[in-house]
Amino acid sequence: MSIKPIETDQVVDIVFEFVQDPDPVFRWYALESLAKFSTFSEITRAKLGERLLPIVKARKDEDLSPREFALLAKFPSEKTARFLTEQLMRDGEEIRISTLRYAAFRALKEMGAPYYDNAIKEVHTNGAPGIRRRILLWEKSLEELSLIHI
């Protein structure tokens, strides 16, 4: 008897079921598992992003996770960038909102130039002054960190 390897698509389907689970612990493990997958074709990457974004968008604010934003960055698209830009521009000074705002900033930064640049233009055009200042501080901090690692 031989053991057949499990197809990656089947594993991803199973993990996506857990991403939608109401239990935050199961969701966290599922998100961590998805983040460990590294070799997706461009077509598969686009499909996974289209599948993940509605799941994340449907979450109540108190159930959103910075890990979800980081995972969205692995599947860049215009729709994902718009969602993350909206999260970046959220009003509020509560720690939870600030954390999600920073997670959106980092995700957009990871997505790369066209997505990040468009998001920053949107923030500078329509964002609150406090959010614009915070983004400038985050950018400066990232630049300083990159200089330290050189």
For residue range 52-79, what is the model confidence (pLDDT) as tens digits? Answer: 999 999 999 889 999 999 999 999 999 9
Tell me the pLDDT band of 37, cut-offs 50, 70 and 90.
confident
What average pLDDT does the segment 20-37 reach?
90
Query: How many residues comprise the chain?
Result: 150
The string of DSSP codes covering 22-88 is S-HHHHHHHHHHHHH-----HHHHHHHHHHHHHHHHTS-GGG--HHHHHHHTTS--HHHHHHHHHHH
Q: 93-137, pLDDT tens digit by residue?
A: 899 999 999 999 999 999 999 999 999 999 999 999 999 999 999
- Looking at residue 105, its pLDDT comes to 97
pLDDT of residue 3 exceeding 70: no
Q: Residues 139, 102: contact at Cβ < 8 Å?
A: no
Banded pLDDT at 5 (limits 50, 70, 90): low
What per-residue confidence (pLDDT) applies to 42? 80
Helices 129-148, 95-111: crossing angle, 10 deg rounding? 60
Give pLDDT, residue 1: 47
Q: What is the pTM of this model?
A: 0.87
Average pLDDT of the chain? 89
What per-residue confidence (pLDDT) applies to 137?
A: 95
If pLDDT is split at 50, 70 and 90, which confidence band does 34 have? Answer: confident
